[in-house]
Amino acid sequence: MLKDTTIGPAVPSLVVGGVARQILSVLSSELRLIYPDMPARALVRYLDEMQAALTQPNPKNITKLLNDMRRSGIRDADIADFYIPVVARRLGEGWVSDDMEFTQVTVGMANLQTMLRTLDSSWCMPERAPFGTLGEICIIVPQGVQHSLGSSILAGQMRRAGYDVHLGADIALERIAQFVSSPATVGVMLSASLWEPLDFLKAVVKKIRQGNPWAPVLVGGNILELECDVSALIGADHAMNDWQAALSFCAQRVQP
């Protein structure tokens, strides 16, 4: 049975908006299926403790937090898949709602990147199919775009599924065509946020098509919160934030 191990005294929850509340509900439900013997309160409490620890400029907090979560029985893969994305979303909401200082958000996001790099490499190792046997996936994060954390997590998840993933983080527009040009590429994922102009993303997709006219192009990220058909406007084949559905879409498109 998993233990309810906590980090020191209770940490007060920060204000959480409606979207984050929905994410918390999903997080709790999914993690309870994975960890049925751990109290739901303990599973969700780590979010508050992560946020409190990671917004402090002390790298020792990351090590202590990871060790405590691991001792409680939480796998590194679930820290990457569930906890880190939700804390990142909460930091973003805290900044938008003025509940957090810019320095707190900046330190928190940098520490989330550090935490992801600190995780055991097993979190992104293939679980079923041997590495790379299902084809190559390219993930594009255009130069100047400041949201590589989600793309790094996505790359790890797809590698765990058995794909050979090439992450083009901060890649210049003129390098994109060459980056995606391999005949083994079965799909190209474009990570985009609400901050990127649609005309710019359309130019990115055009470069992808120049380098690889046969691979499907999918767009994901919080840009999909726009009330419009993003994929049609930028020339992508599909828009979705479910990475497993995205892989299924790519597999169907490249089948002979």
Residues of 10-39 as b/e, b for ≥16 C-beta within 10 angstroms?
Answer: ebeebebbeebeebbeebeeebeeebeebe
Task: Collect all residues with Cβ–Cβ distance below 8 Å to 162 and sequence separation of at least 6.
Answer: 126, 127, 128, 129, 130, 131, 132, 133, 134
Supply the pLDDT for residue 58: 83
Gap between the Cα atoms of 234 and 199, Å rounded: 7
Of 254, 177, 249, residue with least CA distance to 209: 177
Predicted TM-score of the model (pTM): 0.80
Quick one: pLDDT band at residue 19, thresholds 50, 70, 90? Answer: very low
Helix, strand or coil, per DSSP, at residue 217: strand
User: What number does CATH give the domain 18-123?
Assistant: 1.10.1240
Gap between the Cα atoms of 96 and 90, Å rounded: 10
Share of the chain above pLDDT 70, in %: 85
Cβ contact 238:218 at 8 Å: yes
Residue 161, pLDDT > 60, answer: yes
Domain segments of the chain: what residues? 18-123, 136-254
Supply the pLDDT for residue 6: 29
* Each residue's pLDDT tens digit, 97-154: 888 888 888 899 999 999 999 999 889 888 766 665 678 999 999 998 867 888 999 9
CATH number 3.40.50.280 is the correct assignment for the domain at 136-254 = yes
Gap between the Cα atoms of 5 and 220, Å rounded: 35
3-state secondary structure 89-138: HHHHHHHHCCCCCHHHHHHHHHHHHHHHHHCCHHHHCCCCCCCCCCCEEE
Alpha carbon of residue 13 to chain centroid: 23
